[in-house]
Amino acid sequence: MPRRNTLFFVLDIISHYYAAMTIPFNIPPHSENALKYIENSFRGSKLSGDGDYNKKCVHWLNNYFKSKLSVVTPSCTSALEMSMLLADIGPGDEVILPSYTFSSTANAVVIFGAIPVFVDIEPDTMNISPAEIKKAITPKTKMIMPVHYAGVGCKMDEIMAIAQEHSLIVVEDAAQGMLASYKNKPLGAIGHMSAVSFHDTKNIVCGEGGCLVINDDKFLARAEIIRDKGTNRQKFLNGQVDKYTWVDKGSSYLISEVTAAFLLAQLEDSQQITLPRLSAWATYHNGLKQIEEKGHLKRMSIPKECLGNAHIYYILLNSQDDRNKLAQFLKNEGIMTTSHYVPLHSAPAGRSFGRFVGDMNITDDLSNRLLRLPMHSHLKNEDTLTVVNKINLFFQN
């Protein structure tokens, strides 16, 4: 038996044993060809950025987003940073974003000396509220960053219209958005630029990785330079100049061939990887309908114009206390659940680097009552049914 199979056999036994005791919150997805591609990547003479696997990932992503250019990056965080450089965000500028998001969205703004302006979310999706965006616009506002929470699209038509009216740039934080859509467009394909994550807590993964999607022509030329240490190396490789040199600001936003090989296998399998998540999502959603009707909790919802990717399944309990008690009860039953973001406007760094507009009631309230159920592509139907049954049991007692 080849060594690889033996290893998988052992892992399989361990994971079955483990699964018998607990239902983990997340297990990163596997893909058929990952090991083969990673092995191949070593055989090439080029291990650094822009090799064959990198090019294949870019080709896949360009095709998927129908973007002008999608570049793979070391993380969604670095893609967000790259978008700030491209948009020339700097001291004095203001960027409007939801308080209910990950630190990376705000950090990208802060490290370039600009001010994150936090606004409230909408209660049905936990996504940024277009009405609150309007209230926060000042002459210094330069950008809006919608975050598609749980892989559910923000009201992008309204947001793009506000942006157009005030000449603002829209950078989508589509970290959680792979294979989800808004009005039949992939999340990430709508704003002027978008950042996607392939971190191992997301749907499609390569360990650590991301992608910057450029949907507006005017950012194309500098993107090639900024990602490549501020040099015009790309022009040199294309034969447009005979030497390459330092021409602009920049950094290193490339990924190695090994990571790209891993990513390509995941991208090619992305539909397959998403199916078990969608199935788990549906089991939760159907299984918790009655308990919602009894008034014990509210299930997450997806607006008609959006197609979800089952990145997250969350429920909103009636109080923080209920949430914490249910989480503890499920933990005792071997079921791992988690809350989510501490709103950034009340976090220590958010208070010192940013400011907020509006009362933040919805953000403060919902973040305290939200619970995320186990969600990954290894979940079996019996696992999700167990979770549903235990939640029902909790409310019977």
Ligand X SMILES: *Cc1c(COP(=O)(O)O)cnc(C)c1O
Catalytic residues: 202
Question: How far is residue 71's CA from residue 58's CA, in Å, rounded to a whole number?
Answer: 6
List 173's β-bridge partners, or say none: 147, 195
- Give the tokens for residue 350: 């958010």
**SS3 state of residue 11:** helix
**SS3 state of residue 338:** strand
Contact between residue 296 and residue 61 where contact means Cβ atoms under 8 Å apart:
no
Q: Which helix (H) or strand (E) holds 60?
A: helix 52-65
Taking CB under 6 A as the criterion, the residue among 119, 175, 307, 366 binding ligand X is 175
Per CB under 6 A, 147 contacts ligand X = yes
Per CB under 6 A, 172 contacts ligand X = no
Per CB under 6 A, 176 contacts ligand X = yes
Closest separation between CB of residue 104 and ligand X, Å? 4
Each residue 208-247 as x (binds ligand X by CB under 6 A) or -, in order, gives --x-------------------------------------
Closest separation between CB of residue 313 and ligand X, Å? 15
Per CB under 6 A, 101 contacts ligand X = yes
Taking CB under 6 A as the criterion, the residue among 67, 105, 283, 377 binding ligand X is 105
Residue whose pair of structure tokens reads 């219209």 in the numeric block: 161
Residue whose pair of structure tokens reads 């973001």 in the numeric block: 341
Judged by CB under 6 A, which stretch of 56-64, 70-78, 186-194, 225-233 contacts ligand X?
70-78
β-pairing verdict for 115-119 and 94-98: parallel
Per CB under 6 A, 75 contacts ligand X = yes
Per CB under 6 A, 259 contacts ligand X = no
Judged by CB under 6 A, which stretch of 12-20, 152-160, 169-177, 275-283 contacts ligand X?
169-177
Per CB under 6 A, 76 contacts ligand X = yes
Per CB under 6 A, 194 contacts ligand X = no
Per CB under 6 A, 199 contacts ligand X = yes
Alpha helices in 294-360 (DSSP H): 320-332, 348-353
Closest separation between CB of residue 393 and ligand X, Å? 31
Per CB under 6 A, 102 contacts ligand X = yes
Neighbours of 247 (CB within 10 A): 14
**SS3 state of residue 85:** helix
Per CB under 6 A, 309 contacts ligand X = no
Comparison of 67 and 104: residue with beta carbon closer to ligand X: 104
- Give the tokens for residue 283: 């089991």
Question: How far is residue 354's CA from residue 98's CA, in Å, rounded to a whole number?
Answer: 12
Helix then strand then coil, in percent of the chain rounded to 5, is 45, 15, 40
Comparison of 99 and 101: residue with beta carbon closer to ligand X: 101
Per CB under 6 A, 151 contacts ligand X = no
Closest separation between CB of residue 258 and ligand X, Å? 17
Question: How far is residue 273's CA from residue 204's CA, in Å, rounded to a whole number?
Answer: 8
Per CB under 6 A, 173 contacts ligand X = yes
Neighbours of 71 (CB within 10 A): 27
Residues forming contacts to ligand X in the complex (CB under 6 A) are 75-77, 101-102, 104-105, 147, 173, 175-176, 197, 199, 210
